Structure 1
Amino acid sequence: MQIGFNLPVSGPMASPEVMANIAQLGESLGFDYLTLTDHVALPDTSSPGYPYSTTGEFYTPDPGHRVEQLTTAAWVAAKTSKIRLVLAVMVVPHRPAVVTSKMLATIDVLSGGRLVVGIGAGWLKVELDAVATTPFAERGAVTDEYMDAMRTIWTNDKPVFHGKYVNIDGLLTDPKPVQKPHPPIWVGGESGPSMRRAARIGDAWYPIGSNNAHLLDTLPRLTAGIARIREMTKQAGRDPAAMGVVYRVKRHGQPAPAATDGNRKLFTGTVANTIEDIAAVKEIGVTAIDFDFEGRDAVKSATDMKKFHREVLSRI
């Protein structure tokens, strides 16, 4: 099982010095990958609306102060040597497909094949209205077509693709990604359309357990979710056993009330609970987990990462 962590790309820790130090620390501690989130323009974040917390508030302080995801991924690649770089997740409609395919291929080349393309359709209407050139209501269809176009561009010498949103006819788009046939695609989202997308094109399904509309916050709920994605993958004509499952943990190691199904929420409680949960989710098919050490204090974040390495990573 791979273990990753979320690199702070927003808030008070989103400075070149802190981001470089945290990325290099994670690499030296033996984390397998780091993740980078994606927002371009946010509304007043004091107004609740975030779907992945119980209060509707963003976890990260000052989330509107944020560096751009793909630019930062390329920069972090230059600051590290072996840790994998996971887009967690790239909001696909934010950027035109042909340009994005070139940017992602470039990052994969410059990083020596360390890119993982996590994707999602987006959820924040005011942001997509401001950033995307396609309608918010069509974001699912846009995401599907953009990803089909990008995979065509990455795997064909003279790609031809004609769709509603993307048209390219034999133009040269080299270099191709280092990874073949293309960088791994981890499909985020917990809704039916997101899971069907994962089943159709994903190398892994990449849910967050705390989505209030589609909770996967306990072992029984996550087990049921994995059973659903396996069945959907089979229905899509693909091998269910080949589908990875990556679980994104927004908060861990803290006391919390029981979930609404009566069970302990995954990764709450003690260090022993965290170790127990890592073993339990591995048993049901989770292939990677990433944890969040963000906050306002870079020293505390680094200390927490070292403590996690000492108390958890070294014992699993």
Structure 2
Amino acid sequence: MTTPLGLGLPQTRQYSVGEVPGVARAAERIGYQSLWSYERALFPEPATQGMFGVPGLPWHDFYRSVAEPLVTLSLAAAVTERVRLGTSVLVAPLHVPFQLAKSLATLDAASGGRVVAGFGSGWSLDEYAAAGVRPFEERGRTLDEVIEVCRAVWGPDPVTYDGEITRIAPAVVGPKPVRPIPILLAASTKQAQRRLVDHADGWLPLAMGAETTAAQWRELRDLAAERGRTRPIQTVLRANAVYTPKPYEGQDRAPFQGDADQIVEDLAAHAGIGFEEILIDLQVGPRDAREFTDVAAEVYEKARAAGL
């Protein structure tokens, strides 16, 4: 049985936002089963903190310009028919909960029920200073409210909600999603994993090498059993690739770094863990949208030839 493959849409500065529809059409034609966008709101200069909150770690230069994720997905939705449309991930506490719920519901209605809401709590102090609806220190509680508001807004009318940020008096709120939109969380900490087990539909981990990722998946399943979760956890693994036209020959090769054959080799190793889907992000390396599309086609064809 083959593993469904998703593709991260081109959002960084070597690509034009206007090229997204063409890439989305091509990806659906190639055979990808989902398309994804991520959120990076700004590039602080100088940064208040290191990337991912790691002291001294420089931010990736490609974060200097990242297209807004829901606009990116809307462009893709307008020109595709089959692929699912997901965020991996959207920093939910940077958004007003009610408006975010409305936007996702509208996109789902417009696309015929294809949206997957992947949320994270974020790590950038600078992004929170610019756009956070609550302070950085309250990001976990804010994410909890975003999830609750989404469930309420997407549910039956009249909608009511009374929280710290959001208050909805009994009201009709539409359009409604075509079907319940699954909420997946990145959930890399124990506290975030508990939130996932108790309140979310699934998990959106970042591939960290097959052995490490498999251990994380076992830990999450054990936690679900401890907390009495009976419904399955949906899984989409995110693989951030660094593409090179020629094989990467250094001994320090990271997972998903190298040419198409090396990327597929790593896909095969991670597919054996048992994730329902693997999202491959190929934005780093290709010079433009044409090369991006060619690389995406090569990776997909070689993955299928390898039985993935």
My pick for the range that moved more, 305-314 or 3-12, is: 305-314
1:194 alignment counterpart: 192
1:25 correspondence with 2:21: no
TM-score, with structure 1 as normaliser: 0.85
**CA–CA separation in structure 2 for the residues paired with 1:92 and 1:314:** 38
1:1-316 equivalences under 5 Å are: 1-16=3-18, 18-44=19-45, 49-51=50-52, 56-59=57-60, 61=62, 63-179=63-179, 182-209=180-207, 217-239=208-230, 242-251=232-241, 254-255=248-249, 257=251, 266-268=255-257, 274-275=263-264, 277-294=266-283, 295-316=286-307
SS of residue paired to 1:39:
coil
Q: What does the per-residue CA deviation read over 1:269-305, in whole Å, with 9 as the maximum and x for residues that have no partner? A: 6766655544443333211111122143222212211
My pick for the range that moved more, 271-280 or 224-233, is: 271-280
Q: CA 1:46 to 1:142, structure 2 compared with 1: closer, same or farther past 3 Å?
A: closer
For these two proteins, the number of residue pairs brought into alignment is: 299
**CA–CA separation in structure 1 for the residues paired with 2:159 and 2:235:** 30
**CA–CA separation in structure 2 for the residues paired with 1:271 and 1:40:** 30
Equivalent AA in structure 1 for residue 45 of structure 2: D
Would the aligned equivalents of 2:117 and 2:183 in 1 still touch at CA under 8 Å? yes
TM-score, with structure 2 as normaliser: 0.87
**CA–CA separation in structure 2 for the residues paired with 1:257 and 1:201:** 41
**CA–CA separation in structure 1 for the residues paired with 2:49 and 2:144:** 29
Equivalent AA in structure 2 for residue 155 of structure 1: G
Shift of 1:60: 6.2
Q: What does the per-residue CA deviation read over 1:60-108, in whole Å, with 9 as the maximum and x for residues that have no partner? A: 63x3323222122222211222111111111111111111111110000
SS of residue paired to 1:79:
coil
Shift of 1:8: 1.1
Shift of 1:245: 2.4
Shift of 1:268: 5.0
Q: What does the per-residue CA deviation read over 1:215-270, in whole Å, with 9 as the maximum and x for residues that have no partner? A: xx232211210111112222333226x11222111126745646xxxxx8544567
Would the aligned equivalents of 1:45 and 1:58 in 2 still touch at CA under 8 Å? no
Equivalent AA in structure 2 for residue 19 of structure 1: V
**CA–CA separation in structure 2 for the residues paired with 1:306 and 1:7:** 13
| Aligned CA-pair RMSD | 2.7
Would the aligned equivalents of 2:86 and 2:117 in 1 still touch at CA under 8 Å? yes
Equivalent AA in structure 2 for residue 41 of structure 1: L
Would the aligned equivalents of 1:208 and 1:249 in 2 still touch at CA under 8 Å? yes
SS of residue paired to 1:249:
strand
| Structure 2, unpaired ranges of 5+ | none
Would the aligned equivalents of 2:264 and 2:299 in 1 still touch at CA under 8 Å? no
| Structure 1, unpaired ranges of 5+ | 210-216, 259-263
Quick one: percent identity of the two aligned structures? 27
Q: CA 1:58 to 1:308, structure 2 compared with 1: closer, same or farther past 3 Å?
A: farther
